[in-house]
A = this chain, B = another copy of it.
Amino acid sequence: MTAGRLIGVGVGPGDPLLLTLRAVAAIEGTRRVAYLAAEGQPSLARAVVRAHLTPDHEEMPFEAPMRDDAGALAAFYDGAAATIAGCLDAGDDVALLCLGDPLLYGTFVYVLDRLRGRYGVEIVPGITSAAAAAARTARVLARRKDGFAILPAMMEEPRLRAALAAADAGAILKVGGRVRRLQALLKDLGRLDDALLVAWVGWPEETIVPFRDWTDPEAPYFSLVLVGERPA
């Protein structure tokens, strides 16, 4: 029997119309559709594609532990990968949904790490939250000689500072509880006044505010800061 293929499907940041035709074809053409959800919560990736799911789909939800415990997370991904591998061994393809792009901070990577080399893999790229946030706000990300950086807020501060200083524009992801530190860092770099906080882009709870005006020390988990074109 031929083993099935693992299909990593980027579903974009939230707006169901930002699915690609290839993502829709992968979902509609694959019986087994797997996705992750935070423990006790509905899966965001599933919500994005729900219009394309039918009763014929065999849905495979995986509930990820939310506590910050590397061992528990590794065990969770071991288990998810083993379950998926069982389906692939039985000859079924599995479409694993992933918010945004599967290879850019995607949870897909942890399953890929465990199954790479053993099965055929196809990956459908997805629209990133940074591109969607820029589009919603008509902010230029880069032109001609500009560099653009995508940086997680949890990067060590010296590296975050160096990367921001080297790039003309950037998106800082996963702001969470790091609002004050990021505001101070951007102020120090002279980039705070042009920075925008964009939370839940494309979802009903979408919020867009100048980052300097955000007073809560916490930002929603699904939020990013766009650091604009450096003034000439």
Asked whether, in the complex, the Cβ of B144 is within 8 Å of the Cβ of A152, the reply is yes
Query: How far, in whole Å, are A109 and B121 apart by their CA atoms in the complex?
Result: 36
Q: Does A143 contact B (CB under 8 A)?
A: yes
Task: Name A132's closest neighbour in chain B (CB-CB).
Answer: B125
Give the interface SS of chain A, mostly helix, strand, loop or mixed.
Answer: mixed
Q: Does A135 contact B (CB under 8 A)?
A: yes
- Give the shortest distance, in Å, between A111 (CB) and chain B (any CB): 12
Q: Can you list 13 contacts pairing A with B, beta carbon distance less than 8 Å?
A: A101-B135, A103-B139, A104-B131, A104-B141, A125-B128, A125-B134, A142-B150, A147-B152, A147-B160, A149-B163, A149-B166, A163-B166, A166-B166
Given A145-B154, A147-B159, 11 additional A-B pairs, CB 8 A:
A8-B135, A20-B20, A21-B21, A103-B134, A103-B141, A105-B142, A125-B127, A144-B154, A147-B150, A159-B166, A163-B166
